[in-house]
Structure 1
Amino acid sequence: MPISPKLLNEGETIVVSTRTHPKALLLPILALVLFLALGVAVQQLVGEQVVTLIGWVVALLGILRFTVWPTLDWLTSYYAFTDRRLITRTGVLTRRGHDIPLSRVSDIEIELHLIDRLLGCGTLVISDASTHGRVVLPDIPRVEETKRRVHAMLHEQATETTTRDEGL
Structure 2
Amino acid sequence: MAYPDNLLSDGELVVVHKHPHWKTLVVPVIAFLVVVAAGLYLAGLVSDTSWHSVAWIGLGAVGGLLVVWLTLVPLVRWRTTHFVVTTQRVMYREGVLSRSGIDIPMSRINSVRFQHGLVDRVFGCGTLVIESASDEPIEFDDIPHVEQVHSLLYREVNDNPDDDFHPRSGWEPHQA
TM-score, length-scaled by structure 1 = 0.88
The corresponding residue for 1:37 is 37
From 153, 161, 164, the equivalent of 2:163 is: 161
Q: Deviations over 1:2-57 (max 9, x none)?
A: 42111111111111111111111111100100110121111011233323322221
- Whichever of the two has the greater Rg, that structure is 2
In 2: Cα distance, 1:60 partner to 1:135 partner: 37
The corresponding residue for 1:123 is 127
TM-score, length-scaled by structure 2 = 0.84
The corresponding residue for 2:169 is none
| Letter of the structure 1 residue corresponding to residue 152 of structure 2 | R
| Letter of the structure 2 residue corresponding to residue 120 of structure 1 | G
The answer to whether the aligner puts 1:143 opposite 2:155 as a matched pair is no
Aligned length: 164
The answer to whether the aligner puts 1:28 opposite 2:32 as a matched pair is no
Moved over 3 A (4+): none
The corresponding residue for 1:94 is 98
The answer to whether the aligner puts 1:83 opposite 2:87 as a matched pair is yes
The corresponding residue for 2:137 is 134
Identity of aligned residues (%): 32
| Letter of the structure 1 residue corresponding to residue 137 of structure 2 | R
The corresponding residue for 1:68 is 72
Secondary structure of the residue aligned to 2:141 is strand
In 2: Cα distance, 1:44 partner to 1:84 partner: 58
Q: Deviations over 1:38-86 (max 9, x none)?
A: 2111101123332332222111111000100110111111111111110
Secondary structure of the residue aligned to 1:161 is coil
In 2: Cα distance, 1:109 partner to 1:66 partner: 33
Tell me the CA shift for residue 96 of structure 1: 1.1
Tell me the CA shift for residue 162 of structure 1: 5.2
**RMSD of the alignment, in Å?**
1.9
Partners of 1:73 and 1:92 within 8 A in 2:
yes
| Letter of the structure 2 residue corresponding to residue 50 of structure 1 | V
Q: Give the stretch that moved more between structures: 78-87 or 134-143.
A: 134-143
The corresponding residue for 2:155 is 152
Q: Deviations over 1:71-111 (max 9, x none)?
A: 01111111111111101111111111111101111222212
Partners of 1:38 and 1:55 within 8 A in 2:
no
Secondary structure of the residue aligned to 1:20 is coil
**Alignment gaps of 5+ in structure 1:** none
